[in-house]
Structure 1
Amino acid sequence: MSPLFLLPLLVLDVAVARVSDEKFFNSKPNRPASPQRQWAILVAGSKTYTNYRHQADICHAYQLLRDRGMRDERIVVMMYDDIANNTENPTPGVIINHPEGPNVYQGVAKDYTGDLVTPENFLKILQGEEVDGGSGKVIASDRYDHIFIFFSGHGGPGLLDFPNGGALKASRFLNTIMKMHREKRYQRMVIYVEACHSGSLFDRLLPNNLNVYATTAAKPYQNSFSCYYDSYRNVPLGDEYSVKWMEHAEENDLIATSLRTQFAHVQRETEESHVMEYGDISIARLQVSRFLGRVKPKPLLRRKLPCASTSNADVAIAILRNKADNARQPSAKKYLEEKLKKTMDNRAFLRGKVAEIVELIAREKENITKLPLSSRKRTKNMDCYEDAEPNVYQGVAKDYTGDLVTPDNFLHILQGVRVKGGSGKVIASGRNDYIFIFFSGHGGPFFLDLPNGGALTRTQLINKI
């Protein structure tokens, strides 16, 4: 075949390739999502100051989406909102997600906070259903819309923890997505999950025919890791996977960057856990801008700093150790060291009990005993696992929560004196009544720790009794 004949074929081949690519990105009715057709729901799945990083991740994500042109009414934020003005925060009203970063809390939408941050409300809002309380914003999407979901918090095999209302189980989450797909509530959906065991939400569970692409911070039986420990604030500022994808988004033109490129970068840069992808992998060919906003701001370049990662399962230990190392008062240092030792002893106790249970079940068969203690296996029947797992949280009365859990409030309630806030229930006992008190938590010589208001001393308790 002559070179003159090959040239038209080559031109034709290039033209066909270009048309095919344009057809993939611009086909109808799957037309591109304009800024008015992009939705996002951002969820911080924890509370308390120790978990600072999760709300920092979510606030950072909100600012990123707004900077790229996504309208506020299309972004739903769910977070407990107990970090920025927490008494432990040395910079009131300020949350940062990078050691040299800005205040990501300023101007953030607080659509659903406190007790409204539940799995039930999350699923309702995702499906466009209104809930009692909050801003009223929901994901009112249709068949042409793109939805972005970002969750940052704690997780376990087949579940994501929420600060209230128990855990969101994988089966319920996926059933909701399948229902939305049947009802044509979206064109494509992208899900980013920052949590330990996050891969277990989708591994061999998320089909590739729902137009859903998901990436996770870790494999099904692997912890995710925190990032940027701040000794001044005594907490990690973010999570490794989360800060990697957001910093990449801030440093690049998202119109010229595919989800595949971003995933490869985050997978490469996340050193302590294995970043995974699931679902319809072909969606990764799309531009990141299809889900995070089309406006092209000036790239934000920050000095690259080491993550100094800590397993999210060990963050509480790291915080206690850092506080003890930096304590100036001998009494405070001694207290923190005792608290750290007690925490470590509790962990060792639990590990020992688990080993005892395994040995009892295995009836001293060495080859059977070692396996469950040294390896992790994928849960094959998730429905059976979820049914067997007791939900001890379900139905529990929450009379006094958050900042109301103090020594003073405990003593007042014990004496039948009502306190400001909470359910109003008190111990209205008489001379012929019996009272049972059960406390579970940390303690030291002659005192018990409560989450707020300091410690309950032996003298205080005995004097009131």
Structure 2
Amino acid sequence: MFVKINVASFLVALFVVLVEGSNVIESIVEDHEHSIGTQWAVLVAGSSDWYNYRHQADICHAYQLLKKGGLKDEHIIVFMYDDIAYNSENPRPGVIINKPHGPDVYKGVPKDYTGKNCNAQNFYGVILGNKSALTGGSGKVVNSGPNDYIFIYYADHGGPGVIEMPVEPPIYGKDLNEVLKKKHGSRTYKKMVFYLEACDSGSMFEGLLDKGLNIYVTTASKSDENSFATYCAPKDYEDTCLGDLFSVSWLENSDLQDRRVETLKKQFRRIRKRVLNNGTEGSHMMEYGDLHIHNDALSKYMGSNSPQHTSSSTNNYPSNSRHVNQRDVQLLYLISKFQNAPEGSIRKSEAYRKLSEVISEREHVDKSVKHIGQILFGVKNGPEVLNIVRPAGQPLVDDWDCLKSFVKIFESYCGSLTSYGKKHVRGFANMCNAGIQRDQMDAAAKQTCSS
């Protein structure tokens, strides 16, 4: 009797599947998709100008990867100044590549927030789904729900506790993490993954990103370390770099591996040796937030793909690719311009003038910050105090308003920090941590730069 009942039950179930099979299967698929929710992506290139080619190239490559993975344009939001593809210096007008002899990654990329609309206020508004906060652009925001997955990728210059935007003001670590907390409080996502490419990128989350927000972060470098550009000075692009080392590493890995199988953790482990580059001209990738999320497949955030191969090799890139400290790429650009200009030409003299000007600006920033430190802490102790790196787990600074005000005071007397000078933000943070008051900073900066 026991066997007969099971056989009967099986025949009834089989009949239902045969008669209504397509409806049952479609219902299962619909329920599965509903449980997963929508996949959202925010892609940000935080720079402008030809010598920063790589940041927009990275972002455009990321768009192509996500698009092929099945994400819809209405769910991919792109920030880029958009001054590279049709730049007068582009040897291939209308085309952007992310590696030597690579495919065009610019075609079809949504231009959601470009030019002056590529700014911090719009970035925050997009993440929070707050259209009323926008000051221009396409109006697209992350209008996500509680079952949705969000992927944010940001490629830029940075400094301790700060990353740039093409339009001021920059983004500070405290502000970014407050936005992420607010997004979590709205209960409008299930999980979020954030990849950050920038110098000192770990400092944007070190001691700031709370556990329990269902956010996982990977950064290109530690909190006190440069990140590196790569594919620098190839043929026809001798004056710039086509990508960033961390960025092209995760992008090329995502292109090559089966994203349904490759997890965030596997990707991290697979590419970190390439990003470190044997400790020379490379950086240490870092992880922050809810690390259990790194067990998720890449496909949850980047869509699935038809992998080109599934080799475990991490060396699927030109062995002779040149890496350059991100802060020195502008010098690569200017030196190339000077060397390639005809002797005695106006181009030669103009290139020399601009190179000399930038070198002078860098020296001015370095000397000015050093002198302020000596005024505040003494000639002997100044450099030591300015370069203190707090222990792991502690944020860069306790009073972020103090830090912001010190940066503004410096710039009001001594001029822009520039992308290069952002490395000195740690010095200003240490002044705040040491209890220096605003009037003391004001007096020191005025004494240093108002002569």
Relative to structure 1, the CA distance from residue 244 to residue 143 in structure 2 (aligned partners, 3 Å threshold; closer, same or farther) is same
Aligned to 1:323: 337
- Which is richer in helix? 2
- Provide the residue aligned with 2:373 in structure 1: 358
One-letter code aligned to 1:257:
E
Q: Distance in 1 between matches of 2:173 and 2:387?
A: 25
SS at match of 2:399: helix
Note the C-alpha offset of 1:214: 0.2
Q: TM-score, normalized by length of structure 1?
A: 0.73
Measured at CA, do residues 79 and 299 of structure 1 come closer, stay the same or move farther in structure 2, by a change above 3 Å? farther
Q: Aligned equivalents of 1:362 and 1:91: distance in 2? A: 52
Q: Which has the higher contact order (CA 8 A, sep 6+)?
A: 2
**Is 1:145 equivalent to 2:148 in the alignment?**
yes
Q: Distance in 1 between matches of 2:113 and 2:61?
A: 17
Cα drift, residue 381 of structure 1: 6.4
1:55 shift after superposition: 0.6
Partner of residue 447, structure 1: none
- Whole-angstrom distance in 1 between the partners of 2:193 and 2:332: 33
Q: Residue 190 of structure 2 contacts residue 214 of structure 2 at CA under 8 Å; is this kept in 1? A: yes
Among 384, 392, 416, the alignment partner of 1:371 is 384
Of 287, 290, 295, which residue of structure 2 is paired with 1:285? 295
Instruction: Name the CA distance, whole Å, in 1 between partners of 2:68 and 2:331.
Output: 36
**What amino acid maps onto 1:175 in structure 2?**
E
Contact 1:35 1:71 in 2 (8 A): no
Q: Following superposition of structure 1 onto structure 2, how do residues 58-207 of structure 1 map, counting pairs within 5 Å?
A: 58-130=59-131, 131-207=134-210
Instruction: Report which stretch shifted further, 176-185 or 333-342.
Output: 333-342
Indicate whether 1:257 and 2:262 are aligned. yes
Stretches of 4+ moved more than 6 A in 1? Answer: 30-35
What SS does structure 2 have at the residue aligned with 1:133?
A: coil
Task: Give TM-score, length-normalised by structure 2.
Answer: 0.75
Q: Does 1:229 align with 2:232?
A: yes
Matched, 1:266 2:271: yes
Residues 152 and 194, structure 2, Cα contact 8 Å, conserved in 1? yes
Distance 1:143 1:195 in 2: 30
Q: Distance in 2 between matches of 1:344 and 1:211?
A: 44
Q: Could you say if the C-alpha distance between residues 376 and 344 of structure 1 is closer, same or farther in structure 2, counting changes exceeding 3 Å?
A: farther
Q: Does 1:209 align with 2:224?
A: no
Name the amino acid aligned to 1:384: D
How far apart, in 2, do the equivalents of 1:300 and 1:257 lie? Answer: 10
1:353 and 1:82, CA in 2 relative to 1: closer, same or farther beyond 3 A? same
Superposed CA deviations along residues 154-192 of structure 1, whole A, max 9, x for unmatched, are 122222211124112222211121122122111000000
Q: Shift of residue 370 of structure 1?
A: 4.2
Cα deviation 1:15-55 (Å, max 9, x = unaligned): xxxxxxxxxxxxxxx97887861110001111111211111
Alpha-carbon distance, 1:264 to partner: 1.0
Write the distance in 2 (CA, Å) between the matches of 1:31 and 1:172: 36
- CA offsets 1:315-335 (integer angstroms, 9 cap, x no match): 111111122222234323344
With over 3 angstroms needed to count, the CA separation of the structure-2 counterparts of 1:33 and 1:191, relative to structure 1, is farther
Residues of 2 paired with 1:319 and 1:60: CA distance? 22
The farther-off stretch of 332-341 and 66-75 is 332-341
| Kept in 1: contact 2:231–2:242 (CA 8 A) | yes
- Matches of 1:236 and 1:136 in 2, distance apart? 31
